Amino acid sequence: MTRRSPRNLSDLTNEERSLFAEILRERIYATITLLAVVVVLWQHPDEHQPLGTIGIMFGTVAALWLATLIATRMSYTVIHGAADVEPKYLEAKKVASGLFAPVALPIVLVLVSMTGVFTLKTALFVGMVSLVLSLFFFSVASGRRVADNTLHLLLYSVLQMALGIAIVLLKLAVE
């Protein structure tokens, strides 16, 4: 019997919520990492071709995916031995799938820039904005679970958003 898709988080079992939280954690981590990469690409758009830019962005996320799988296999083998690794590794593959989601829109924007509708720099800027806004969305979603009123929710979200903004400012300062 297949389980029907839940309408909200309260319909999930604790195990399903934990898995969903891990997938979301990886997606947020990938968004923050990708944001840093897109900022650097945006600063020097003349040094990159659109296909190379796509390769850098996708390669970053693919490297995070591989690192997650390798780290899972290594850490569980060290602690539990080879026999207990496979179930956790299969779970890690599910969890790591969330790493690819944040790169979709920036890649589409770069592909559109290849048609001449807008420049690569504009595509990267809009990609940066979309990544920052997705961090804000996740921040608001998490804040709804802990804040007791709208003002606290916005304050909580803005403070969490400061991380994304700090990454952008740090990358701009370093370059």
The stretch 1-29 carries a mean pLDDT of: 75
Q: Rounded distance, CA 167 to CA 33, Å?
A: 9
The stretch 143-160 carries a mean pLDDT of: 81
- 150 is a domain residue: yes
What is the band of 1 on the pLDDT scale with cuts at 50, 70, 90? very low
- 127 is a domain residue: yes
- 118 is a domain residue: yes
What is the band of 3 on the pLDDT scale with cuts at 50, 70, 90? very low
- 53 is a domain residue: yes
CA angle 137, 44, 133 (to 5 degrees): 5
Judged by average pLDDT, the poorest of 2-11, 26-35, 144-153 is: 2-11
- Would the pLDDT of 71 be above 80? yes
What is the band of 112 on the pLDDT scale with cuts at 50, 70, 90? very high
The stretch 151-167 carries a mean pLDDT of: 80
- 7 is a domain residue: no
Q: pLDDT tens digits for 35-51?
A: 989 998 998 888 999 99
- 12 is a domain residue: no
Mean pLDDT (the chain, rounded): 85
The stretch 27-36 carries a mean pLDDT of: 89
Task: Decide if 87 contacts 76 (C-beta within 8 A).
Answer: no
Which domain, by its residues, includes 46? Answer: 26-174
3-class secondary structure, 175: coil
Number of independent structural domains in the chain: 1
Task: Decide if 119 contacts 50 (C-beta within 8 A).
Answer: no
pTM equals 0.82
Q: pLDDT tens digits for 73-104?
A: 888 888 877 777 777 778 888 888 888 999 99
CA-to-CA dists, residue 100 to 34, 82, 90, 115, 175, angstroms: 10, 28, 17, 24, 26
- Would the pLDDT of 139 be above 80? yes
What is the band of 7 on the pLDDT scale with cuts at 50, 70, 90? low
- 10 is a domain residue: no
- 13 is a domain residue: no
